[in-house]
Structure 1
């Protein structure tokens, strides 16, 4: 260990959650965010972290990747998921079965709601542009992040034309506003239509179907697997992780996490670039 695992603002803990003193049994399931949490600064699973995940897999402890990433950004990480082969993607909109290479379940935004969100936000926050994550990939309006290189397989057009029955996430972007200010404006305008969150350093708000979060889908998955919330250990670093950390029985914000995430979590883990998640899991499971 390079340093103790601590609770927010409390210094090193010796209570039951950290592994530094008497504690209950180890978690039955680990749920972890990826970027800024499990992955290093290069977006990779480090050697040490991979070894810890492999050991948990040998012990039949599922490690569920719970991420805002779409499935199309996950190909290089699937080998680290382990034998259970499940991941929650797009902020809870999808549960992906890695072994089958197929979506296990999805919670979608209807095309009517997607178009209405666009209409309301254009009026409430002028300058907002839109893109969609769909079951079949990415689609965007022509003025959404115009610096993006064109892709032959990326539909480009008005929101009403690119919205279909496969929308899992609506993305709203503003080139001038600060990220948190933009999110607040979006939430005020369309929070009754969709679930809003953000996890980017830019002004990009991610919107899922109403009630869909990392937490709600993780809860549903755990129910299917017969795992109680108190037996779940969760890790995250950005506002889209808050609900998951509040739901899980044991929770860690990363050392560089957003303040709202540290406020939501029971503990603070070492930095992600120092294998913080692996450090905590090593303690919890006496590896």
Structure 2
């Protein structure tokens, strides 16, 4: 069955390692959109980083960002759906994690931007004017994403211990090469928000072709009717996906789409 919607992660998947979207990939996305098949970006990136690639969003104009916490209407430049973490629940989780795993530091993402604890070492450029304060002050409104970092523990170890400490209160995942956990509200994943978006379009999982490369893509790839892991993907992602696409630096998503849609 020909897919009726394409859902693709960005970093390590659609976007090359240098942060670019190649002209070939951009052209293929435009051709798929011209066939009436929406290509929806589904990313862990916050809004401010996703805006860099919005020129490649088709006329449907929707993107799922912050691991499903936000559906952004690109054309109208406004949120279509927000699925944030409640303040009390978020602060409870911060306390539990810090008690179980001393040395944990936090950053909080909202529509207004990012706020970071003074000890949180950000690997990317921090936006000008970003707040620096204890998490109790930063978490003063519902948050799209809570970031937890540890400088001593390995990523998988940090994730496993954090899952044990939170006991399912929030959704934890990761997509970084460092020990950075991305924490979302209960039930919020790329998959659950993509399912909501598809339901609005009258589509189901069987209609979706999805691409991903990191653990935060696992729910989406498990949900989609057809799932591709990138050749450069994390081992857990390669285990779940139905197929393997060429690496992101070889325009793997575009090459698969060109074949699927006979472009």
**TM exceeding 0.5:** yes
Q: Which residue of 2 aligns with 1:46?
A: 22
Give me the whole-angstrom Cα distance separating, in 1, the residues matched to 2:128 and 2:260. Answer: 47
Please report how far the alpha carbon of residue 165 of structure 1 lies from its aligned counterpart in structure 2 after TM superposition: 2.5
Alignment of 1:31 with 2:10, yes or no, is no
**Which of 208, 219, 223 in structure 2 is aligned with 1:247?**
223
Q: Which residue of 2 aligns with 1:133?
A: 109
Q: Which residue of 2 aligns with 1:80?
A: 56
Q: Is the 8 A contact 1:131 1:172 kept in 2?
A: yes
Alignment of 1:285 with 2:253, yes or no, is no
Q: Which residue of 2 aligns with 1:19?
A: none
Please report how far the alpha carbon of residue 164 of structure 1 lies from its aligned counterpart in structure 2 after TM superposition: 2.5
Q: Is the alpha carbon distance of 1:148 and 1:235 closer, same or farther for their aligned partners in structure 2, counting shifts above 3 Å?
A: closer
After superposition, give the CA deviation of every residue in 1:53-80 in whole Å (9 maximum; x if it has no partner).
0111211110000000000112220010
Q: Is the alpha carbon distance of 1:150 and 1:253 closer, same or farther for their aligned partners in structure 2, counting shifts above 3 Å?
A: closer
Alignment of 1:235 with 2:211, yes or no, is yes
Give me the whole-angstrom Cα distance separating, in 2, the residues matched to 1:86 and 1:148. Answer: 25
Q: Which residue of 2 aligns with 1:6?
A: none
TM-score, structure 2 length as denominator? 0.97
Q: What pairs with 1:100-139 in structure 2 (closer than 5 Å)?
A: 100-139=76-115
Q: Which residue of 1 aligns with 2:44?
A: 68
SS at match of 1:235: strand
Please report how far the alpha carbon of residue 148 of structure 1 lies from its aligned counterpart in structure 2 after TM superposition: 7.0
Give me the whole-angstrom Cα distance separating, in 1, the residues matched to 2:124 and 2:41. Answer: 27
Q: Which residue of 2 aligns with 1:186?
A: 162
TM-score, structure 1 length as denominator? 0.89
Please report how far the alpha carbon of residue 210 of structure 1 lies from its aligned counterpart in structure 2 after TM superposition: 0.9
Give me the whole-angstrom Cα distance separating, in 2, the residues matched to 1:39 and 1:159. Answer: 32
Please report how far the alpha carbon of residue 191 of structure 1 lies from its aligned counterpart in structure 2 after TM superposition: 3.8
Give me the whole-angstrom Cα distance separating, in 1, the residues matched to 2:49 and 2:90. Answer: 22
Q: Is the alpha carbon distance of 1:226 and 1:148 closer, same or farther for their aligned partners in structure 2, counting shifts above 3 Å?
A: closer
The structure with the larger Rg is 1
Q: Is the alpha carbon distance of 1:151 and 1:248 closer, same or farther for their aligned partners in structure 2, counting shifts above 3 Å?
A: closer
Give me the whole-angstrom Cα distance separating, in 1, the residues matched to 2:259 and 2:173. Answer: 31
Q: Is the 8 A contact 1:110 1:164 kept in 2?
A: no
Please report how far the alpha carbon of residue 166 of structure 1 lies from its aligned counterpart in structure 2 after TM superposition: 3.3
Give me the whole-angstrom Cα distance separating, in 1, the residues matched to 2:75 and 2:125. Answer: 32
SS at match of 1:38: coil
Give me the whole-angstrom Cα distance separating, in 2, the residues matched to 1:161 and 1:33. Answer: 32
Please report how far the alpha carbon of residue 215 of structure 1 lies from its aligned counterpart in structure 2 after TM superposition: 0.3
Q: Which residue of 2 aligns with 1:17?
A: none
Q: What pairs with 1:204-219 in structure 2 (closer than 5 Å)?
A: 204-219=180-195
Give me the whole-angstrom Cα distance separating, in 2, the residues matched to 1:223 and 1:262. Answer: 27
Structure 1 regions of 5+ residues with no counterpart? 1-23
SS at match of 2:12: helix
